[in-house]
Chain A
Amino acid sequence: MTTTNPITTDELPVDERLELLRTMWQIRFFEDECHRLFAQGLVRGSTHLGQGQEAVSVGVCSALEPGDTMTCTYRGHAATLAKGAPLDEAFGEILGKARGLCGGKGGSMHLTDVRVGALGSFAIIGGHLPISVGAAFAARYRETSEVSVCFFGDGTTNIGAFHEALNLASIWSLPVLFVCENNLYGEYSPLASTTPVEVLADRADSYAMAKARVDGNDVLAVRTATLEATRRARAGEGPTLIEALTYRQKGHSRSDPGKYRPEGELEAWIERDPNTLLEAALAGAGVDAERLAGLKRDAERDVLAALERAQSWPDPDPASLMEGVYA
């Protein structure tokens, strides 16, 4: 178990840490724009934002190799972008555009980009865990060194598919990483009201599975834990359950103002915002303030330019309605 505070120093060169920060800022601005687009009525249904959880997605995905696969939840913008999906096509999908990642068929909750190994965002709690087990099975079947990763929330550890997936992955010793983003709330319910164990990583013990518990707001700690888990997976030593402690700074979905939070909780977590923590660590490592500010400005500019492109794209042709039900 690793818990770290303040942010871990890592052997990763400064330039690579700056790239992590760039991705984290892009995701932050992307989510902020989604929030704004939703308020303007440009996003249909609902959208589930992940501001404050960037370090988990970016830390995990930065430790993966090309060919590794990833599945995530309906709160999946960050993971899909961290795996490498382009900003403009991700916006396009959320806006329901023809050139969106899924041609406008999936929307915010189903961002998928097979080109980068992002196998999908799934909106049924737990439904994708067995699917990542299957992707890992395929890697083992074909004797490749690929691993598969699935992201899910704390609430998922109470649903049956979680337990079936962990059990099968362990009994078959498959190369899969189960990454639990413990943001303390399952939808609107605090974890303690739904879950009798406090340390979710301990659920790995039931399946004789390796586990790690990390500061999910420390991108380098997440990355380090992931590298160890992928090393084990690639060596045939089986799956790992990683619990990343983090916090969602917005509500569950757009309709949730988050009134169930105790006073001061949000503020305390914002003090430990993953992006500003990494920024401070880089400043401490000697990166000058102007470079850090420039990187943040560039990230915002990239996001706004991507959004502008996506907004210029046409809606799907209604004739495409029937395409893709069957091959």
Chain B
Amino acid sequence: MSTVTYRDAIVRGMADALAADDDVFFLGEDVGAAGGAFKLSEGLLEQFGPRRVLDTPISEQAIIGTAIGAATQGLRPLAEIMFADFAGVCFDQIANELAKYRYMTGGQISVPVTIRMANGAGTGFAAQHSQPAENWFLNVPGLKIAVPATPADAYGLLRAAIADPDPVLVFEHKGLFNVKGELADAPAPVELGRAEVVRAGEHVTVVATQQMRHRAVQAADLLQAEDVALEVIDPRCLVPFDVETVLGSLERTNRLVVVQEGGLPGSWGASLVASVLQTHFEMLDAPPRLVGSPETPVPYAGALEAAWLPSVEDIAQAARETIAY
């Protein structure tokens, strides 16, 4: 066991996957010689050579299409889209080609493609480099979506994604690259679709991902002083979504707060709230709360971006309101 950063865990996850299976190769913009725009692939070109670690032109459609085509031939491509916002450039390749390929061919084709993308707001990159883009892909059946928040999950979900027979989008949060955590000496993959109960509590279930998971834990610390115990759950994957763990918690707390970075319409948080209301309405003692961002693009100025992101206090206040109801 050692303490590593989220960034270190990603580098190690890729290195271990490349070392474990010659069918894995890695392609993206500036991932090789430059070691990645965020230094997430430092040393990989030197270690694995240009056959397996490939710098591409700035051509997101070609990157993803090449990964898809290689996957049809049995390879396990790992592609990087430098910023998740750039998924907009290759949306067709992801949503129309990659996601639908198996289904529309009647199961003839497997496309085990993993796409890593730097996601999310809070680091001052402004509107076109900060969008939490995971919700764009929620209603595209055929994709799996992982959203790691810790070094161990960044490593374990990436390894599971690369080994998975289906396409997996792995959103790596830019605001977490320097977050530290424990990583085992021989870390295991983290099963896709398995939530983690980050913190046990009896009063309110708080479901949060990525940066918001860490803020939810801070909110739990804050509310301890008010004798309120939050149970914080990190789903870790949006597809498949481990609703069972959330329901297991709600059986005890009967109160739900969902926290996400980004606007509410068409989001995983809205889907979770709708699902719980439809099937387990009687389990709730208070209306569920969905905490998210205002419906604007991500702003640049520090004061504006801070206002855009749900705060620790926003989360704590939502929890208090479910109790006061």
Which of A100, A119, A167 is close to B72, meaning CB atoms less than 8 Å apart?
A119
The answer to whether A137 touches B57, judged by C-beta atoms less than 8 angstroms apart, is no
* Chain A residues in 8 Å Cβ range of B110: 327
The answer to whether A132 touches B104, judged by C-beta atoms less than 8 angstroms apart, is no
The answer to whether A119 touches B109, judged by C-beta atoms less than 8 angstroms apart, is yes
Chain B CB within 8 A of A238 CB: no
* Chain A residues in 8 Å Cβ range of B88: none
The answer to whether B61 touches A327, judged by C-beta atoms less than 8 angstroms apart, is no
Bound complex: CA A325 to CA B62 (Å): 24
Bound complex: CA A101 to CA B106 (Å): 8
Q: Which residue of B lies closest to A176 (CB)?
A: B69
* Chain A residues in 8 Å Cβ range of B65: 127-131, 133-134, 161, 164-165
Chain B CB within 8 A of A91 CB: no
CB distance from B164 to the nearest CB of A (A): 8
Which of B94-102, B179-187, B251-259, B285-293 binds A?
Answer: B94-102
CB distance from B121 to the nearest CB of A (A): 28
Docked complex: B154-171 residues within 8 A CB-CB of A: 164-166
- 15 cross-chain CB contacts under 8 A: A69-B72, A105-B107, A112-B104, A113-B108, A128-B97, A131-B68, A136-B69, A160-B61, A165-B62, A165-B65, A167-B59, A168-B66, A325-B141, A325-B142, A326-B144
Chain B CB within 8 A of A102 CB: yes
Bound complex: CA A325 to CA B100 (Å): 8
Chain A CB within 8 A of B73 CB: yes
- Please list the residues of chain A having a beta carbon within 8 angstroms of any beta carbon in chain B: 69, 100-106, 110, 112-114, 119-120, 122, 124, 127-139, 141-142, 148, 160-161, 164-165, 167-168, 171-172, 323-327
The answer to whether B70 touches A326, judged by C-beta atoms less than 8 angstroms apart, is no
Q: Besides the contacts A69-B72, A327-B165, what 12 more A-B pairs have beta carbons closer than 8 Å?
A: A101-B108, A103-B107, A130-B65, A131-B65, A134-B68, A138-B73, A138-B74, A141-B75, A165-B62, A167-B59, A324-B106, A326-B102
Which of A69, A102, A127, A327 is close to B104, meaning CB atoms less than 8 Å apart?
A102
Which of A102, A139, A148, A171 is close to B105, meaning CB atoms less than 8 Å apart?
A102
Chain A CB within 8 A of B3 CB: no
The answer to whether A133 touches B59, judged by C-beta atoms less than 8 angstroms apart, is no
* Chain B residues in 8 Å Cβ range of A135: 69-70, 72-73
Bound complex: CA A165 to CA B105 (Å): 23
Q: Mark B51-87, 1 if CB is under 8 A from A, else 0.
A: 1001011011110111111111111010000000000
* Chain A residues in 8 Å Cβ range of B68: 130-131, 134
Known: A138-B75, A326-B102. A114 touches B108 (CB 8 A): yes
* Chain B residues in 8 Å Cβ range of A160: 61
Across the A-B interface, give the 7 residue pairs with the lowest CB-CB distance, nearest first: A130-B65, A134-B69, A102-B106, A138-B73, A103-B106, A327-B165, A164-B62
CB distance from B142 to the nearest CB of A (A): 6
Q: Which of A106, A136, A141 has the most CB of B within 10 A?
A: A141
The answer to whether B107 touches A324, judged by C-beta atoms less than 8 angstroms apart, is yes
Q: Mark B5-22, 1 if CB is under 8 A from A, else 0.
A: 000000000000000000
CB distance from B293 to the nearest CB of A (A): 30
Chain A CB within 8 A of B308 CB: no
CB distance from B289 to the nearest CB of A (A): 32
Known: A114-B108, A120-B105. A168 touches B69 (CB 8 A): no
Bound complex: CA A295 to CA B34 (Å): 61
The answer to whether B92 touches A127, judged by C-beta atoms less than 8 angstroms apart, is yes
* Chain B residues in 8 Å Cβ range of A137: 66, 69-70
Known: A134-B67, A327-B165. A161 touches B105 (CB 8 A): no
CB distance from A23 to the nearest CB of B (A): 22
Q: Which residue of B lies closest to A172 (CB)?
A: B54
CB distance from B237 to the nearest CB of A (A): 13
Docked complex: B138-156 residues within 8 A CB-CB of A: 141-142, 144
* Chain A residues in 8 Å Cβ range of B141: 325
Q: Which residue of A lies closest to B51 (CB)?
A: A141
Q: Which residue of B lies closest to A110 (CB)?
A: B104
Chain A CB within 8 A of B103 CB: yes
The answer to whether B62 touches A104, judged by C-beta atoms less than 8 angstroms apart, is no
Known: A114-B108, A114-B109. A130 touches B70 (CB 8 A): no
